[in-house]
Structure 1
């Protein structure tokens, strides 16, 4: 499954970066909101998950996100998530960068997680940036900030919003400094996350893609694994147990 060249790299590596996308959480049953999953109540998710939608119809906006949160309450981390916890323990410097907002990496037990697109289990004030756990707003049809009284949004990056610059810089720095970079379950088209593997490879990292489908990154990867993340990573943990 994994090449000898990769195993040699992993045996001696100090610094590892993993980038995860929707394909990892899809194995737990989290909707990808692509294709047939791109609609909710006959409305396009890309138009619902915007600041404009929140301003125009806050009740509908929050109904959608309350539905998403309720869905996630029933969803648990899968073998891919738990395997990444094990993998983190094998390396001195391990950074997990995720495009997912479902909090499953943290629930599974990963310690160093950079959430590029935020975390749906928190709310953020649109005016003062005050952040609270979603439980603090339980029972409110439309959450309002307890500091300034302004309306809140989920602490996620909505369509059209810029990423948190501090988190993005950390992700870029980690990518530039790593020895092996894994791109797992991501479409490799959403920027700026899609550029991170190229930053890693440009600085000498060995680039591995784990994805059941071909992506724009595939032809540039040093190694491509075409099986589900859960199967690939459980196998990788068994190998690391022997060589580390």
Structure 2
């Protein structure tokens, strides 16, 4: 591996895909027969939503090295994201013919088979991807596979169905984890749906009375009281995942900006009672949020002022408070809302290269920055109680964090109108209700017990 290839791979692992792609292209110009450099360049293209370029580099890599199983697996993954199950199964089968123990291919083929209606074969492959031995899956991915496996085992309608984009496996081969998974793979006979434990805010406070390191994992439901639409509400008006996918943005970038305008609506949004209660929680070690609205930080300022340091807020999916250019990665220093509020054309254009600007958020088809995921994992490993507030828990990798907490023996309390899909396979507690009502009550009860 030449120096440029090595540097490009390091940039890719660090989540700096734009710089990685530039570096890897230079490496290929010096060594056009380097199949691995082309494979890694394809990963960079894939993470930037450049599917045609990714596919072309993968095919070129296979021409140079026909036994490169990861390239076949990535072609299968691209087909999965596009909903092309038959093509996906063909490429993934080829990857496993080359390398029968390739766990990523087993996992992805299991997902494809599940959505194609081949439930028994899917379960077998998902279980095989979790077998102990060399090349074990990274812990977060292993937890996600377990979730897919439990869903397959408990699926009341196991026939073929359309593949949701958020169900397609993510690019995880390059993520470096530090600990092995602690959980055993679920067995068919022990993977029945669990009986949900429902508690009042007072009962949940008693359960958490001994906690001294509370972590919150939040989703769009916590911002309902601030007047922001939930993901479910947006998808009643838009084409679900496709409207906010990186692939759609490359085809029609104006659509994403229309969704943002719909999400933000009119007027300024302030933290609601749930944000403020969480900000006042004395034992809070941090917040991991799927939200992009910046309201947790604003709540801290309202409760504590500017002088009190804030516990870390890990914005897994980025923020609307920053924008960047899709083409050159320039950052104009403006919020997405500032473009929506003006009569600027959609999409707004980059002053440096005239490329389309976008909010600095993670779109479907992109990955969560490794640094953010690492910070979230550190918090999960440190906490002794996890509050899951206002989220359906159906998008990875956030959906795997409660599984990791439970594997460490940490109680998981959901605050939501109805239980999320987590409750089907994980021992959780539900406090039903609107988060801006039940969360302040729970935390007030907890404060009085101190």
Question: Is TM (by shorter chain) over 0.5?
Answer: yes
- The structure carrying a bigger strand percent of its residues is 1
SS of alignment partner, residue 109 of structure 1: helix
Equivalent position to 1:113, from 309, 313, 324: 313
Q: Give runs of aligned pairs for residues 190-201 of structure 1, distance below 5 A.
A: 190-201=395-406
What runs of 5+ residues in structure 2 fail to find an aligned partner?
1-199, 302-309
What runs of 5+ residues in structure 1 fail to find an aligned partner?
none
Partner of 1:14: 212
Say whether residues 1:159 and 2:364 are aligned partners.
yes
Equivalent position to 1:64, from 236, 259, 276: 259
SS of alignment partner, residue 360 of structure 2: strand
Cα distance per residue 1:11-33 (max 9 Å; x no partner): x4332110111221223332224
- 8 Å contact kept, 1:209–1:221: no
Equivalent position to 1:237, from 443, 447, 450: 443
Using the TM superposition, give the Cα deviation of residue 123 of structure 1 relative to its aligned residue in structure 2, in angstroms.
0.6
- 8 Å contact kept, 1:72–1:102: no
Equivalent position to 1:52, from 237, 243, 247: 247
- 8 Å contact kept, 1:123–1:133: yes
Partner of 1:140: 344
TM-score of the pair, normalised by structure 1: 0.83
Give aligned pairs, total: 236
* Cα distance between partner residues in 1 of 2:258 and 2:201: 44
TM-score of the pair, normalised by structure 2: 0.48
Q: Give runs of aligned pairs for residues 218-233 of structure 1, distance below 5 A.
A: 218-219=423-424, 220-233=426-439
Partner of 1:104: 295
- 8 Å contact kept, 1:119–1:156: yes
Task: Supply the RMSD in Å over aligned alpha carbons.
Answer: 2.6
SS of alignment partner, residue 280 of structure 2: helix
SS of alignment partner, residue 440 of structure 2: helix
Partner of 1:83: 277
- 8 Å contact kept, 1:209–1:218: no
Partner of 1:27: 225
* Cα distance between partner residues in 2 of 1:17 and 1:72: 32
Change (3 A) 1:129 1:243: farther
Change (3 A) 1:72 1:80: farther
* Cα distance between partner residues in 2 of 1:9 and 1:73: 37
Asked which structure has the greater CA Rg, the reply is 2
